[in-house]
Structure 1
């Protein structure tokens, strides 16, 4: 568990922002981390200790949770996925259209804006 916590802290140091989407009853659905930079979205979804995925998608993607185009993706345990994401090379500038951020659903009828890092 400490490896997961350390990994999440390393992602925060790399400007990942986190949201905690909930279902209609208020139950936690996932922990979602997104970094918007250099024309891409890097996204991490943690559903449990043994169920996680991460992806890099173009910055012009309309739906970051269900993208139509994926540049890179991994799935597995939270520890493995976080380590894969931390090992991912920085994107070349302007891979996709430059994004200012994205809206992420957090609760029934509510969303949070996750802004691009500089």
Structure 2
């Protein structure tokens, strides 16, 4: 795929993720420079996470909804790394867990700012 076409395809896939309920955060370093684009979708008692560092450096993973640290999980149910377009396509192709596998409560939480340019995903406990 040509670079311009790939760039457009990445933007289209990011829009597809937003349509599926992903929320995005743009963490920054101490100097205020963008570190990554991070997307999170909590659903069906799992959390899907996308970390986009560059068009050739992306990682996506699915973790249990009760994972304590979504940015450094101890358990992953699915993982994909590589070029952004490949990771985004794999993430969009990932099926939601079957209803029989659900425990009844969808994973819930929110982003909480911890300092300028930084936020942390806090899992809801009730």
State which of 24, 29, 36 in structure 1 corresponds to 2:35: 29
The structure showing larger relative contact order (alpha-carbon pairs under 8 Å, at least 6 residues apart) is 1
Give runs of aligned pairs for residues 34-49 of structure 1, distance below 5 A. 34-49=40-55
Mapped contact 1:60–1:96 kept (Cα < 8 A): no
State which of 57, 72, 79 in structure 2 corresponds to 1:51: 57
CA separation of 1:41 and 1:25: change in aligned 2, threshold 3 A: same
Q: Which residue of 2 aligns with 1:111?
A: 119
Distance 2:60 2:104 in 1: 18
SS at match of 1:65: coil
SS at match of 1:35: strand
After TM superposition, the score normalised by the length of structure 1 is: 0.86
Q: Which residue of 1 aligns with 2:74?
A: 68
After TM superposition, the score normalised by the length of structure 2 is: 0.81
Structure 2 residues without counterparts, runs of 5 or longer: 1-6
Q: Which residue of 1 aligns with 2:107?
A: 99
Rg (Cα) greater in structure:
2
Structure 1 residues without counterparts, runs of 5 or longer: none
Runs of 4+ more than 6 Å apart: none
Q: Which residue of 1 aligns with 2:3?
A: none
